[in-house]
Amino acid sequence: MELGNLTGFSGFFLLGLSEKPELQPLIFGLFLSMYLITVLGNLLIILAVSSDSHLHTPMYFFLSNLSLVDICVTSTTVPKMLWNIQTQSKVITYEGCITQMYFFLLFAGLDNFLLTVMAYDRFVAICHPLHYMVIMNPRLCGLLVLVSWIMSVLHSLLQCLMVLRLSFCTCLEVPHFFCEIKQMVQLACSDTFLNNMVMYFVAVLLGGGPLVCIIYSYSKIVSSIRAIPSAQGKYKAFSTCASHLSVVSLFYGTILGVYLSSAATQSSYSNGTASVMYTVLTPMLNPFIYSLRNKDLKRALKRFVGMAAIKVPIVLGLKKCT
């Protein structure tokens, strides 16, 4: 397919969060630290779940998938921004921009769907505890993750194909730290009516739909918890979904905050700064929320870290002997 919008330019310029040179070392250090914490924290969750047979349940299966997606969604944006700051270059190629956009939409959509699947898992666990293992069997869990992947792939593919039909003129500066689809559509000099219609329709369908499902699940969960006679039973039931509810509130709260702030202000730099909340901060905080509020996961993490600490001196001792 021949793209007419590639003839006049070779790429875009990512302006980042600030153009002030004195702030670049601070931004680099801050985002590098946040990225390393995100990768390490989510990787520990995955390793702890996979190494502990007691955590081989649907709840932790979905959690390990969420941790993997959190690593991926951050890795699509932050490394490129760090590279641009280090090399003092703001250029990103057209192909690189489309690729970054595709994978960001893919993994952000997966985050959304996995949180919905985890809400359904908690709904079954609390509202139908006697049939939980029958309903949430390995086949259904795998199918739910597979459907989430398929829907996310189709969504990101649709959005990128819609951007490929646009033509870009002379204004190639993206006031953001990554190729965010809304910013890219605003840069186009061709008609973007269809793009905007698709964006808003998909946002309502794939954003509002899962949110409605989550709210419905928790309304049923609250009703079931209220019917439990003992206070200890209510606390135990609520504690099983408290971490997920915290992550859902953080995820949707930051996204709604970004779009409400973008509607209230015309500053693109402010929008880019607000986007840090759900692109970097939320994936970084998720491991802390789950590990701090979940005794089983905290125990597995301590066991895994302890095993790793024991193995390191043994390996070093063997190397010295040889």
pLDDT per position as a tens digit, 214-236: 999 999 999 988 888 888 878 87
Contact call for residues 79 and 99 (beta carbons, < 8 A): no
Task: Give pLDDT, residue 6.
Answer: 44
pLDDT greater at residue 2 or residue 38: 38
168, β-bridge pairs: 188
Determine the Cα–Cα distance for residues 65 and 144; give it in Å rounded to an integer.
11
Q: What is the mean pLDDT of residues 49-76?
A: 92
Task: Give pLDDT, residue 55.
Answer: 85
Task: Give pLDDT, residue 35.
Answer: 96
Return the number of other C-beta atoms located less than 10 Å from residue 263's C-beta: 9
Asked which of 103-117, 156-170, 234-248, 307-321 is least confident by mean pLDDT, the reply is: 307-321
| pTM more than 0.85 | yes
Task: Give pLDDT, residue 297.
Answer: 79
pLDDT per position as a tens digit, 31-46: 999 999 999 999 999 9
Task: Give pLDDT, residue 293.
Answer: 67
- The 3-state secondary structure of the chain reads CCCHHHCCCCEEEECCCCCCHHHHHHHHHHHHHHHHHHHHHHHHHHHHHHHCHHHCCHHHHHHHHHHHHHHHHHHCCHHHHHHHHHHCCCEEEHHHHHHHHHHHHHHHHHHHHHHHHHHHHHHHHHHCHHHHHHHCCHHHHHHHHHHHHHHHHHHHHHHHHHHHCCCECCCCEECCCCCCHHHHHHHECCCCHHHHHHHHHHHHHHHHHHHHHHHHHHHHHHHHHHCCCCHHHHHHHHHHHHHHHHHHHHHHHHHHHHHHHHHHCCCHHHHHHHHHHHHHHHHHHHHHHHHHHCHHHHHHHHHHHHHHHHHHHHHHHHHHHC
Q: What is the mean pLDDT of residues 43-56?
A: 88
The mean pLDDT of the chain is 84
Residue 2 has pLDDT above 50, yes or no: no
Banded pLDDT at 168 (limits 50, 70, 90)? confident
pLDDT greater at residue 5 or residue 179: 179
Task: Give pLDDT, residue 270.
Answer: 60
**pLDDT over 70, % of the chain:** 85
* Amino acid type, 217: S
* Amino acid type, 94: Y
Domain 7-292 has CATH 1.20.1070.10: yes
Task: Give pLDDT, residue 232.
Answer: 82
Contact call for residues 67 and 110 (beta carbons, < 8 A): no
- CA distances (Å), origin 14, targets 178, 231, 255, 276: 7, 54, 21, 15
Q: Which of 281, 243, 270, 269 is nearest to 115 (CA)?
A: 243
Banded pLDDT at 262 (limits 50, 70, 90)? low
**Domain ranges in the chain?**
7-292
Banded pLDDT at 189 (limits 50, 70, 90)? confident
Asked which of 164-173, 250-259, 301-310 is least confident by mean pLDDT, the reply is: 301-310
Task: Give pLDDT, residue 265.
Answer: 54
Residue 90 has pLDDT above 90, yes or no: no
pLDDT per position as a tens digit, 122-160: 999 999 989 999 999 999 999 999 999 999 999 999 999
Contact call for residues 107 and 69 (beta carbons, < 8 A): yes
Contact call for residues 40 and 287 (beta carbons, < 8 A): no
Q: What is the mean pLDDT of residues 249-277?
A: 69
Residue 266 has pLDDT above 80, yes or no: no
Residue with tokens 């601070």: 26
Asked which of 65-79, 105-119, 294-308 is least confident by mean pLDDT, the reply is: 294-308
Residue 1 has pLDDT above 50, yes or no: no
pLDDT greater at residue 180 or residue 238: 180
